[in-house]
Chains A and B, each alone.
Chain A
Amino acid sequence: MLQSQTMSKVELVAPEEDVIRATETLAVSGVFHPVHGEGIAGGEDTTDNGWREWAAGFADLERRILALMESLGVAAGAPSVKAPHLINLAVAKLDVQHLENEAQVYLRQLRKAQQHLKDLDQYITQLEPLAGLDVDLGRLRNLQHVFVLPGTMPLDNLERLRTSLEHTPFELIILDRADYLASVLLFGAQQDAVILERAARSAYLHPVHIPAEYRGTPAQALKSISVGRGRTWRHIVEIQDKNEQLQEARVKHLRYLLWRVRASRKMVETIIGYEHLRYTYVITGWVPTAELPALKKAVRKTSENVVFEIKELAQEDAAEIPVIMSNPAMLKGFQGLVTNYGYPSYEELDPTLLLALTFPLFFGIMFGDVGQGLLLALLGGLLISRKIRSLRGMAELGWVILACGLSAICFGFLYGSLFGSEEILTALWIEPLKETSDILMATIGIGIVVLSGGMFANMVNAVRNRQWGGLLFGHHGLAGLLFYWSMIGLAATSFANVLPLSPVWFGGGLGLSALLLIAAEPLGQLVESRQPLIEGAAGAYFVQATFELFEVVIGLFSNTLSYVRMGAFAVAHGALSLVIFILAGMVSPGQGIGYWLVVVLGNLFIIGFEGMIVGIQTMRLAYYEFFSKFFSGSGVRFQPLTLIPPDK
């Protein structure tokens, strides 16, 4: 739990003809974390054997498939293939082209029919105002003295058209207005036809000519158009029905192609990341040591020609070893809080367990109340149970809330607080509102223990990394711890006289540890047998180290005092609860319904509002005061090679 899984570095040398199969095997295994080195260009051979062109081809194909799916209203859906082989690019292109053509035929048919329907609607709009006229349309089309231009034009251009014709007699009748277009009739004198036509054209008035096939009076033409409209509508439905029959097979095919192409692109991009020698590819990556035999066997099964080698770990590998954090399910929520800060590096302690101990402790101290803690614990339990579908994603957080709730219950008993009331339970330890200075001192004490714990954890990390200098003389190493304790001891004996030792002892410890901290770099270099002891001028080093010591003093002092906030929040929690009872008393002095309503709402407010603030403060104490002592968060997350992205 405190350390990540043991990892091994492996190197596979695959001949050109086996590189694809080897990559497939590694991807399917789900345990290979590839290391992208200098890539193909970094090897002896600077040609890439067309891989980059392939990658671009697959990327383009993927985009085309997605565009096609969008035009057909098909979603990408879940991956339809689990372990896809590399698809032949040329064949896939032909396949996509075929689907595109097929879709184009359908879309063209549909759009043509839709356009026809739109045209018919336009004719209806144009003719409806004339429905009462008992005139033959043929005569209207061949008027001798009157110019008539029915059509559609953008609404925004209406006024401009009127302005442009200010010196020409005309009439512009708006028959209908849609979102963007208006249906209009432009009337004028036939002698102005050229002017009117040019003006109409430049105002984007698109003429709607009612075809000659619609004869008779406008009312008769309208009747024929309505019949044609019904026919066109049925035609559209037929096209759509026919398409739906094809759709099922097409959707399946498109999704299959999409995921094959996606996987192929990923594979090609992965191969581009390999080092390329003249006839071989060198594949480097990390594998959990426990998985090595199975992977080796799988690779051997793929091809006898692939060389599988376990590499010796070099010093410079340390920073790039990926980390798998192994924590039980109930700690996953805390693990999430840790990874939110950063991943532990390979040789670093995984702080999840430490956080699982301290986080609820801090929260409980600040939010100690049996009733409110119980509600929080119930909420946590509800989330863990995954009974509410929409909250299933928060199941891991449920464990954090449950732990915080239980801790709040414990501290509720210690503080004697139940739903904000301190009258019902007897405090087993302290009443924050009445013993303010005691709770503040107690939380400082807890802070000292936690910070010391952080320093111990840092020393463990130093031992694991064989950083003996850091272990003995680091700011958060043995010298730093001695300095911190001496500082605390000196303060305690000088101001409160609560320790059995004389201040002289602590003064001595402080002086000695200060000297060790100032000389940390040369001493560290000495114990690790490294040269030079001091880089640059010695004078400059000691001046800088002395100032750094001041920074350490201030840092330790402020970090320690930072824990006072726990006590302060415990007091604030009590005060806030008191206010609620005062308000409840004001609303209903006789403790009627109003009284209990205010108490319930007040408690809910405290749980929601103060609970959130206390949560943030707890996180702050963990991240800044505690983690900063021993946790760098600079690790690399283990991300096994996969050709099908899990989130898609």
Chain B
Amino acid sequence: MGASTVSAYAQLQVQARVQYSRLLTPQRLQELMQVENFAALLSSLLDTAYAPYLEKVDRSLLTPRRVVYQLRCRLAASYEKLIKFTPDPGHQLLMQLWSLYEVDNLKATLRGIEHQSSWEQVLYLLSPGEKYWTVTFDKLQDMMRSDDIATALEVLRGTLYYEPLAHALNRYQDEESLFPLEAALDLDYYRELWKSMQQLTGNDRQQALRLIGPVIDKDNLLGAIRYRIYHRMSTQEIINYTLPFGYRVQDAHIRAIAAGEDIGAVVRGIYPRLLLAAVDFEAAPGLALRALEVELNRQIVRRCRIVFRGAPFHIGLPVAYLLLHEHEIENLTALIEAKDSRLPLEMIKSVVDFMPLDSQLERS
């Protein structure tokens, strides 16, 4: 490891570790899970690192949707801070990772136009933090003002998203479904993410592959299975809507699923050590998919936790922290929705998959 690598990552790893230490502790997670209702959950959250973001909004305005939006503000702040401190080409990778939320915002806006929703209805479904994005909230608002999707896409002219969306527009107009637009955005996003990872070298590349590779694997594999089970797509369609690259999920696996081979066998072939013996993709596809998703998420979280025990001077540290933070927010979102719907604790436990950090378990 060169001195330049150490000096480039010194500040970044301090930042990542400081942020990592501010993720929720097991005790706090348990407390959040146990609270009576949404109001109590909100009060508990006001005692966490999310407080500054929640306090920016008058309490009476903190609806579940708005709370999730404010939680995401912290994620946006984390991304912005770490992107700022990360040297190239890691900088590009984090930017690409962060642009997933820009893509999600675009999708939410397109749905808003399709359903003729108002900007106010769409706004808090979006992810905040437009600092490094080309599609700002102003642009999204301009899109919302359009009468139809075709006019809305004109607002995106000059951005990276225009070409794939404009080309997919004919299909949207033929099929009257947003699926072709959303799938085009997703495929384009993952290709760019993969390219960003390929631009890294040495330990950085290895770490990025170990952490982001499984995320791509998860989405690709689950996507292929869903396309086959729920959308009843042809072999050719499944292949065309999925990716030929991944960390453990290879093109051959996707092609096997697309060709109609036994999904359970393919999944066990990819992950021989995964505890999925009881699940049956043919008989109970919903349960099987959920179990697979939970297991793959846990695997990602475990990988992220391991990074904080090893050598610190690489891109893995910020990436791992950001993925853990995203996982925490996803779980908090599920918890907020569950508490708002007054679901019983047992049911909440089945939807929320908290994975406390090793260091925090030690502290507890």
Residues of chain A touching chain B, judged by Cβ–Cβ distance below 8 Å, are 63-64, 67, 107, 111, 152-154, 156-157, 159-161, 163-168, 179-181, 195, 198-199, 201-204, 206
- Given the interface pairs A63-B138, A67-B142, A195-B234, the reply to whether A161 lies near B240 with Cβ below 8 Å is yes
- Given the interface pairs A163-B255, A204-B180, A204-B184, the reply to whether A154 lies near B240 with Cβ below 8 Å is no
Q: Are A198 and B167 within 8 A (Cβ)?
A: no
Q: Are B244 and A198 within 8 A (Cβ)?
A: no
Cβ-defined partner of B171 (8 Å) among A64, A154, A161, A204: A204
Q: Are A181 and B167 within 8 A (Cβ)?
A: yes
Within the complex, what minimum Cβ distance (angstroms) separates B122 from chain A?
15
7 A-B contacts, Cβ less than 8 Å apart?
A64-B145, A166-B255, A168-B236, A198-B234, A202-B233, A204-B167, A206-B171
A164 to B259, CA, bound (A): 10
Tell whether B164 is near chain A: CB-to-CB under 8 Å. yes
Q: Are A164 and B239 within 8 A (Cβ)?
A: yes
Q: 1/0 contact trace for B148-183 toward A, CB 8 Å?
A: 000000110000000110011011000000001000
Tell whether B191 is near chain A: CB-to-CB under 8 Å. yes
Interface size range of chain B in the complex: 20 to 34
Cβ-defined partner of B240 (8 Å) among A107, A195, A203, A206: A203
A67 to B164, CA, bound (A): 23
Q: Are B239 and A180 within 8 A (Cβ)?
A: no
Cβ-defined partner of A180 (8 Å) among B154, B167, B187, B241: B167
Query: CB-CB < 8 A to A206: which residues of B?
Result: 167, 170-171
Q: Which residue of B lies closest to A163 (CB)?
A: B239
A367 to B270, CA, bound (A): 73
Tell whether B15 is near chain A: CB-to-CB under 8 Å. no
Q: Are A160 and B244 within 8 A (Cβ)?
A: yes
Which has the most chain A C-beta neighbours within 10 Å: B138, B167, B180, B241?
Answer: B167
Q: Are B236 and A202 within 8 A (Cβ)?
A: yes
Q: Is the contact region of chain A dominated by helix, strand, or loop, or is it mixed?
A: helix
Q: Are A159 and B244 within 8 A (Cβ)?
A: yes
Q: Are A163 and B167 within 8 A (Cβ)?
A: no
Query: CB-CB < 8 A to B255: which residues of A?
Result: 163, 166
Q: Are A164 and B167 within 8 A (Cβ)?
A: no
Query: CB-CB < 8 A to A64: which residues of B?
Result: 145
A64 to B171, CA, bound (A): 30
Q: Are B244 and A180 within 8 A (Cβ)?
A: no
Tell whether B88 is near chain A: CB-to-CB under 8 Å. no
A62 to B12, CA, bound (A): 40
A78 to B184, CA, bound (A): 42
Q: A111-B154, A156-B188, A163-B244 are in contact. List 20 more A-B contacts (CB 8 A).
A: A63-B138, A63-B141, A67-B138, A67-B142, A154-B164, A154-B167, A156-B187, A157-B187, A159-B244, A163-B251, A164-B240, A168-B236, A180-B164, A181-B167, A195-B236, A201-B171, A202-B241, A204-B171, A204-B184, A206-B171
Q: Are B235 and A164 within 8 A (Cβ)?
A: yes
Tell whether B36 is near chain A: CB-to-CB under 8 Å. no
Tell whether B326 is near chain A: CB-to-CB under 8 Å. no
Within the complex, what minimum Cβ distance (angstroms) separates B357 from chain A?
38
Within the complex, what minimum Cβ distance (angstroms) separates A188 from chain B?
12
Tell whether B237 is near chain A: CB-to-CB under 8 Å. yes
Within the complex, what minimum Cβ distance (angstroms) separates A181 from chain B?
7
Q: 1/0 contact trace for B236-251 toward A, CB 8 Å?
A: 1101110010000001
Q: Which residue of A lies closest to B242 (CB)?
A: A160
Q: Which residue of A lies closest to B251 (CB)?
A: A163
Within the complex, what minimum Cβ distance (angstroms) separates A178 from chain B?
10
A203 to B191, CA, bound (A): 14
Query: CB-CB < 8 A to B168: which residues of A?
Result: 204
Which has the most chain B C-beta neighbours within 10 Å: A67, A153, A164, A198?
Answer: A164
A166 to B233, CA, bound (A): 17
Q: Are B237 and A156 within 8 A (Cβ)?
A: no
